């Protein structure tokens, strides 16, 4: 959907807010969603945004180390549960789960701690408004 540049970023904020990157403000057009980085081979959060000129961008945030560990904890727990259905879970998975479970990790269902939301990793142009 074309954006009317006359609206300006402030009028395009909707409920998703704005983010600044390298001195420029971008209006988020959707809630951030979990994705995979094309270059970093790790989980990231992404959202579409626009600038004052109506150009479309993809904003990327890196996940925090604590949140990555919390995701790993869920994966290891799943591995253990699946292995118990088929026989016995590995000692490595059990030890790793115990170590992760002892940590004070964030709730992965509360994404407020998933990234440093005020500091995007990258903003990439998707489509210029000609």
Using a 10 angstrom Cβ sphere, with 0-12 exposed, 13-18 middle and 19 or more buried, the burial of residue 109 is exposed
Q: Judge whether residue 87 has pLDDT over 90.
A: no
* pLDDT at residue 14, as a whole number: 55
Pairing of strands 24-28, 122-127: unpaired
- On whether both 25 and 36 belong to a single domain, the answer is yes
In a domain, 90, yes or no: yes
Q: Which residues pair with 19 in a beta bridge?
A: 26
- On whether both 79 and 93 belong to a single domain, the answer is yes
Mean pLDDT of the chain: 86
Name the more confident of 15 and 129. 129
- On whether both 38 and 73 belong to a single domain, the answer is no
């Amino acid at each position: 959907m074309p954006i009317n540049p006359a609206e300006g970023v402030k009028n395009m904020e909707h409920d998703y807010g704005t983010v600044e990157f390298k001195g420029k403000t971008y209006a988020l057009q959707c809630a951030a969603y979990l994705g995979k980085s094309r270059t970093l081979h790790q989980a990231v959060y992404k959202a579409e945004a626009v600038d004052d000129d109506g150009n479309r961008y993809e904003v990327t945030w890196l996940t925090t180390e604590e949140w990555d560990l919390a995701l790993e904890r869920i994966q290891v727990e799943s591995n253990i549960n699946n292995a118990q259905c088929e026989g016995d879970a590995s000692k490595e998975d059990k030890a790793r789960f115990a170590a992760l479970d002892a940590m004070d990790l964030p709730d992965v269902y509360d994404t407020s701690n998933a990234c440093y939301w005020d500091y995007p990793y990258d903003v990439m142009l998707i489509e210029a408004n000609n």
